[in-house]
């Protein structure tokens, strides 16, 4: 009967995973109408979906606040819950990359790195120059999770050579990615004593790249460690 069908649809919606409840016109309403589902049933479905949307938004915001905890087990749980929401959590995670609490900014960067949604890349590039070092390093690791895409590697290399900003994150991201095409740029930063934390990050990136050429060893000993060969 139609009532049985309606109850079946409602059970399906309530039991659906957190990443499947977001009904919209293109992927939801039109196919339902084409299948002959009545407006009454569609309205009921939309009402349930809207309630779920609000519930999940509230949960995501709650777990984002948990990222400020000093307890590792609580932090890990919050991170797992956020990542489980996948693309649905991305807008709120991006929004909180501007949160006043650096622990939240760092945690959101890490979550975005695990989700690897393309729409988060530009925001992570902004986070990689954050005033807080922990945020920069989390953003660097997050960007590296997108892999050795040519456009990302080239963008990182350009920013690495741009003075007047924090560059340690760009060096770390390139080191994590492991793309040897940027070896020269990383070596140049490691040679620069005025780069501060960028010089140390470049040295670490060289270690990640694992290319113990005479030039690399010379830079690490003479420029970074100040130990003449």
H helices of 67-101, where? 72-84, 90-95
Give the per-residue pLDDT at 89.
93
Rounded to an integer, the average pLDDT of 57-62 is: 92
- Evaluate whether 171 touches 164 at the Cβ level (below 8 Å): no
> Distance between CA atoms of 163 and 84, rounded to whole angstroms?
38
The string of pLDDT tens digits covering residues 188-221 is 888 887 777 888 888 888 888 887 777 777 776 6
- Evaluate whether 56 touches 21 at the Cβ level (below 8 Å): yes
The string of pLDDT tens digits covering residues 129-160 is 999 999 999 999 999 999 888 899 999 999 98
Give the global pTM. 0.76
Give the per-residue pLDDT at 100.
96
The string of pLDDT tens digits covering residues 108-121 is 999 999 999 999 99
> Distance between CA atoms of 202 and 191, rounded to whole angstroms?
9
């Amino acid at each position: 009967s139609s009532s049985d069908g309606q109850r079946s649809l409602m059970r399906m919606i309530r039991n659906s995973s957190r990443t499947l409840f977001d009904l919209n016109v293109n992927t939801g309403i039109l196919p339902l109408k084409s299948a002959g589902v009545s407006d009454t049933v569609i309205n009921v479905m939309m009402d349930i979906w809207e309630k779920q949307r609000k519930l999940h938004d509230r949960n995501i915001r709650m777990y984002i606040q948990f990222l400020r905890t000093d307890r590792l087990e609580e932090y890990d749980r919050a991170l797992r819950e956020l990542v489980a929401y996948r693309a649905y959590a991305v807008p709120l995670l991006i929004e909180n990359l501007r949160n006043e609490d650096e622990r939240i900014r760092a945690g959101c960067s890490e979550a975005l790195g695990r989700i690897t949604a393309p729409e988060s890349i530009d925001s992570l590039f902004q986070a990689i120059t954050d005033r807080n070092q922990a945020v920069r390093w989390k953003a660097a690791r997050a960007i590296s999770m997108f892999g050795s895409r040519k456009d990302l590697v080239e963008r990182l290399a350009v920013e690495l050579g741009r003075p007047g900003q924090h560059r340690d994150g760009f060096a770390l991201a390139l080191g994590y990615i492991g793309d040897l095409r940027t070896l020269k740029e990383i070596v140049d930063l490691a040679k620069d004593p005025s780069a501060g934390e960028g010089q140390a990050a470049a040295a670490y990136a060289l270690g990640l790249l694992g290319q113990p050429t005479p030039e690399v060893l010379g830079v690490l000993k003479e420029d970074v460690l100040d130990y003449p060969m």
